[in-house]
Structure 1
Amino acid sequence: MAFHEVRFPDTLSVGSTGGPMRRTEIVTLANGFEKRNTNWAESRRSYDAGIGVSSLDDLQEVVAFFEARRGQLHAFRWKDWLDYKSCAPSEEVSSGDQRIGTGDGSTYLFQLTKSYEAAVNPYVRTIAKPVTGTTRVAVDGVEQVAAADFVVADSTGEISFIVPPAAGQAITAGFEFDVPVRFDTDRIVWSLTALQAGEIPSIPVVEVRV
């Protein structure tokens, strides 16, 4: 298995359904109280790629992509149209969108993350697949220059500074990103009659850890 640094066609993913899921175990006690526990520290996203298929050409494009990934074997990039920026979907990415660390005078590497803010218990998500050319970085509010001040590893989401930020300096970043996924099936079933009647095939994809 491998990760292919290619994105599922945007024209087909734009109409998809899906979103984050978690796995919570709930035990109801005899007194009516509950015990709740989760084995997942992070959420996992799933989608249905079949929603965007509306023609034979679309279906052929999906099948070609599916065959190139060898079904479930190889993972790939997916654009989640609801959640693909460090900011709100309607806003422009800026270097101050997300705080990703604090300088200590010796650390060169910082991982891109996105914080889902809440009044209580915010969730911080690791971003491993930023979109090439979209990452902006600032140190203490001063925007840095790509290649001259820092380098982005688009396959891992790591920021590498040429000179480590000084102690106490806030490191912030803005970016677009993809979700690493794989097909959640080894079989695509379709019917020409059904497609002509407006019925769509189900083509599930699921997030993977990279």
Structure 2
Amino acid sequence: MATFLESPRFPDTIAFGATVGPTYLTVVNTIYSGRDGRIPAWTQSRIRFEVGRRAMNAADTATLDAFFRAVKGRAYGFRIKDWTDYTATTGNGVLTPAATPGRYQLGKFYTTGALNETRSIQKPVAGSPVVYLNASPLAGAAYAVDSTTGLVTLTQSSFASAGVNGVTVGASTVVTLASGIPGLGVGGTLAFNSGFGGADQALLAGQAFQITALTGTQYTLAVNTTGKAITAGSAIGTRYPQGADVLAWAGQFDVPVRFDVDEMKKQVMDRSGGDLIVDWGSIPLIEIRV
């Protein structure tokens, strides 16, 4: 895998003057009548930056020159701030559930009329994102944000939980908890950590299941474990946010990019007040998938 430089970020002062915008790849097939069919090849855009084609002073020139040498042209990826779009609010900052219960991917929601796109945010600014549940900010201890991937992990101990006392396998699996979990009933989702025992524990460990029946502390789950060997072990059942709950976030993020050239061209144009004025040719940057 190619090297990615998490720090330092591309100089903000130079990024501020960039020409920037999203790009897509569309396959267009035109027929003899002049009509065409269009197939979007990408579900997510790639943002392009142009940081050259302008004059810079000697200090910015030296900074850009050093950065280009450090990342070796197109070789390394790095962060850049898109000054036209670098924040999310609780109105458009969304969290998309990942495969593991209690884990979510940061995203930003863009909408126009009935059309919309959810952009994956994989490079949040460290310490910036705040996660909200039903419009209220969660305590910092209730979640952790990986600033290198944009993955949010909810802290199990911060949500209503109970230990698993027993597992009854069958066409519908019955899990007996040490105590009932408030607010979690039929139709809700019960999630588990990886503490189960038995040869077939992977069927329940780290998974979440819909509750189809509830009697006291016995939760009947929509998962077939007939003939399987699963024991309670040290498993814990948790009520993470449910379907009716709204998770959102607010904060700042960067764009992962690389230079799209291996060569730079610069030329001294003037000397103003003892400072060199350097004209830079085209310096394109392109967003990368990480």
TM-score over 0.5 (shorter chain): yes
> Counterpart of 1:54 in 2: which secondary structure?
strand
2:249 matched to which residue of 1?
A: 173
1:126 matched to which residue of 2?
A: 120
Measured in 2, the distance between the counterparts of 1:99 and 1:110 equals 9
Measured in 2, the distance between the counterparts of 1:35 and 1:170 equals 38
The offset of 1:206, in angstroms, is 0.6
CA displacement 1:118-162 (0-9 Å, x = unmatched): 21220110000000111011112221122x110000000011000
One-letter code of the match for 1:8? F
One-letter code of the match for 2:42? W
- CA 1:79 to 1:111, structure 2 compared with 1: closer, same or farther past 3 Å? same
Measured in 1, the distance between the counterparts of 2:3 and 2:55 equals 26
For 1:25-174, list aligned pairs within 5 A. Answer: 25-50=27-52, 53-87=55-89, 95=90, 97-101=92-96, 107-146=101-140, 148-163=141-156, 165-168=240-243, 169-174=245-250
1:20 to 19, 22, 26: 22
The offset of 1:31, in angstroms, is 2.3
- CA 1:63 to 1:172, structure 2 compared with 1: closer, same or farther past 3 Å? same
1:90 matched to which residue of 2?
A: none
The offset of 1:190, in angstroms, is 1.1
Measured in 1, the distance between the counterparts of 2:242 and 2:127 equals 28
Does the 8 Å CA contact 1:4/1:76 hold for their aligned counterparts?
yes
Measured in 1, the distance between the counterparts of 2:247 and 2:97 equals 6
One-letter code of the match for 1:11? T
Identity of aligned residues (%): 32
The offset of 1:34, in angstroms, is 1.3
The offset of 1:99, in angstroms, is 3.0
- CA 1:52 to 1:178, structure 2 compared with 1: closer, same or farther past 3 Å? farther
Does the 8 Å CA contact 1:102/1:171 hold for their aligned counterparts?
no
Does residue 1:207 correspond to 2:287, yes or no? yes
> Counterpart of 2:112 in 1: which secondary structure?
coil
1:2 matched to which residue of 2?
A: 3
> Counterpart of 2:280 in 1: which secondary structure?
coil
Measured in 1, the distance between the counterparts of 2:97 and 2:266 equals 52
CA displacement 1:9-43 (0-9 Å, x = unmatched): 10111011121111212222122321111222211
Return the structure number with greater strand share.
Answer: 2
Measured in 2, the distance between the counterparts of 1:99 and 1:15 equals 29
> Counterpart of 2:17 in 1: which secondary structure?
coil
Does the 8 Å CA contact 2:57/2:278 hold for their aligned counterparts?
no
Measured in 1, the distance between the counterparts of 2:118 and 2:92 equals 13
Does the 8 Å CA contact 2:268/2:278 hold for their aligned counterparts?
no
One-letter code of the match for 1:204? P
- CA 1:36 to 1:72, structure 2 compared with 1: closer, same or farther past 3 Å? same
Q: Which consecutive unaligned segments of at least 5 residues does structure 2 have?
A: 157-238
Q: Which consecutive unaligned segments of at least 5 residues does structure 1 have?
A: 88-94
**TM-score with structure 2 length normalisation?**
0.64
Does the 8 Å CA contact 1:96/1:138 hold for their aligned counterparts?
no
> Counterpart of 2:68 in 1: which secondary structure?
helix
Aligned-residue RMSD, C-alpha? 2.2
- CA 1:102 to 1:201, structure 2 compared with 1: closer, same or farther past 3 Å? closer
**TM-score with structure 1 length normalisation?**
0.87
> Counterpart of 1:99 in 2: which secondary structure?
strand
